[in-house]
Chains A and B, each alone.
Chain A
Amino acid sequence: MLLHELALVEGIISYVLDIANKRGGHIVSFKVTIGEFAQFDKSLIKDLLVELVKGTELERANIIIEIERAVARCLYCNSKWGVNELLEPLPNDQKEMIHFLPELLNSFSKCPNCGKSDLEIEKGRSVRVAEVRLNV
């Protein structure tokens, strides 16, 4: 099992529970998006979420998990790229570093158009809570 995913999923659940407690509502559903740059396994994240909400107020909530397509923009030439151009050509050890910290893309990858390492992630960075629906 990849362990830091577990810490992130626990963080997600705590955060959604905090929202329910602060706003005094019942969570109907929440949506988690997984950015492609972080390379998380969707089924692993789903399994962890389903397992860890057991016994909490979120047990009956609808959990939606979506993959968010990755887009990074080159701040030098303004071109935009995804994982196929920026991530796939890299060796596995460098991909693993980006898995932990997606901004490390700039340490290992270059813009295919101009060759500069001046990339800014616009979408699909990592895992995030995209939506929480409450029934107040």
Chain B
Amino acid sequence: MSNTSLDFREGMIKRRLERINKIILITSGKGGVGKSIVAATMAALMAKAGMSVGLLDADIYGPSSAFIFKVRSLPKEDRHGLLPPVSNGVKVMSLDLFTAGKALPVSGKGARQIIKELLALTEWGNLDFLIVDMPPGTGDVLMTLIKILGEKSGSIVVTLPTALSTSVVRRVLDLLLTSKIPVFGVLENMSYIDSSKTRASQSRGKALASEFKVKFLGELPIDYKAAEAADTGDIQSLLKTEFAKALLTSLEKMKLFTVKEKLTETTGF
């Protein structure tokens, strides 16, 4: 008998995923809600707590993880595949490492191929967590990862407190839940200004979480120090910000791990 178009990469991906305990997709409805800084800070917090963490930048149209972690080198090769560069204890894989800052305009078919290829080739080794910084919306990358990762993954849905943001993020929540991808919860970013606690907008994340019967993971501040630390690739300063502190509290609500006590010693929380 004869078969055509067999994609052997799916087997490679499956074997690599067997060595990863949990995969967390950081998703949103619209761009600009702070997914990348949430993903980067979460990965750094986990690494600081002694966990083995990878960060896959799946936002192929606007990759930023390599920038935040200040990694520029091309992944090295070994007999198992491509080795992601390590920064601040986090293994970082991003298209930015290959494109040298150039744009990557690809169609949906191309986007699916790239995500599959990165997952097939990247040698993460054993990981406690793989954090995936997703592109916004319900496009090809999300659909590809839903198919490949299935119930191995769970998602954190990031929204702004605005009605505009929550109206769009509904579609992502709906897609994830109907695809049987567990949703750890809704995380509201830019809810208030860090020092004064002045609210940027009326909070809508909690009501959204309640509507979809998922956890509300909390509110994160607009934190200029966090933005500055991300701009300069200063992960250790990022971990000391109010933003990181609030995110850690949110992560504890997921009950995937307990790190706060350990981090109190290292970050001064």
Please list the residues of chain A having a beta carbon within 8 angstroms of any beta carbon in chain B.
2-4, 6-8, 10-12, 14-16, 18-19, 23, 25, 75, 97, 100-104, 106-108, 117-118, 120-121, 125-126, 128-134, 136
Cβ–Cβ contact B110 & A3, under 8 A: no
Cβ–Cβ contact B95 & A101, under 8 A: yes
**Assuming the A-B contacts A11-B9, A14-B15, are A131 and B4 also in contact, with contact meaning beta carbons closer than 8 angstroms in the complex?**
yes
Interface presence of B256 (CB below 8 A): no
CB distance from B214 to the nearest CB of A (A): 34
**Assuming the A-B contacts A97-B98, A101-B98, A104-B99, are A120 and B110 also in contact, with contact meaning beta carbons closer than 8 angstroms in the complex?**
yes
Contact of B105 among A117, A131, A134 (CB under 8 A): A117
Cβ–Cβ contact A19 & B81, under 8 A: no
Q: Which residues of A contact B5 (CB under 8 A)?
A: 128, 130
Cα-based distance from A134 to B2 in the complex (angstroms): 7
Cβ–Cβ contact A101 & B77, under 8 A: no
Cβ–Cβ contact B103 & A104, under 8 A: no
Cα-based distance from A106 to B106 in the complex (angstroms): 7
Q: Which residues of A contact B4 (CB under 8 A)?
A: 130-131
Complex interface: stretch among B116-124, B152-160, B193-201, B216-224: B116-124
CB distance from B140 to the nearest CB of A (A): 12
**Assuming the A-B contacts A4-B81, A131-B4, are A107 and B12 also in contact, with contact meaning beta carbons closer than 8 angstroms in the complex?**
no
CB distance from A98 to the nearest CB of B (A): 9
**Assuming the A-B contacts A4-B81, A104-B98, are A15 and B106 also in contact, with contact meaning beta carbons closer than 8 angstroms in the complex?**
no
Given A7-B123, A107-B103, 11 extra CB contacts under 8 A:
A2-B77, A3-B79, A11-B8, A101-B98, A103-B114, A104-B98, A107-B98, A107-B102, A107-B104, A121-B110, A128-B7
Please list the residues of chain B having a beta carbon within 8 angstroms of any beta carbon in chain A.
1-12, 15, 77-82, 95, 98-100, 102-107, 109-111, 113-114, 117-118, 120-121, 123
CB distance from A78 to the nearest CB of B (A): 14
Closest A residue to B80 by beta carbon equals A7
**Assuming the A-B contacts A101-B114, A136-B1, are A14 and B8 also in contact, with contact meaning beta carbons closer than 8 angstroms in the complex?**
yes
Cα-based distance from A7 to B117 in the complex (angstroms): 12
**Assuming the A-B contacts A6-B79, A11-B12, are A129 and B6 also in contact, with contact meaning beta carbons closer than 8 angstroms in the complex?**
yes
Contact of A15 among B11, B95, B102, B113 (CB under 8 A): B11
Cα-based distance from A16 to B6 in the complex (angstroms): 9
Cβ–Cβ contact B2 & A133, under 8 A: yes
Leading 9 A-B pairs by shortest Cβ distance: A15-B8, A11-B12, A3-B77, A7-B81, A107-B102, A129-B6, A103-B110, A107-B99, A15-B11
Closest B residue to A98 by beta carbon equals B98
Could you write out 11 A-B pairs with CB less than 8 Å apart? A7-B123, A15-B10, A23-B1, A75-B107, A103-B110, A103-B113, A106-B106, A107-B102, A117-B103, A132-B2, A136-B1
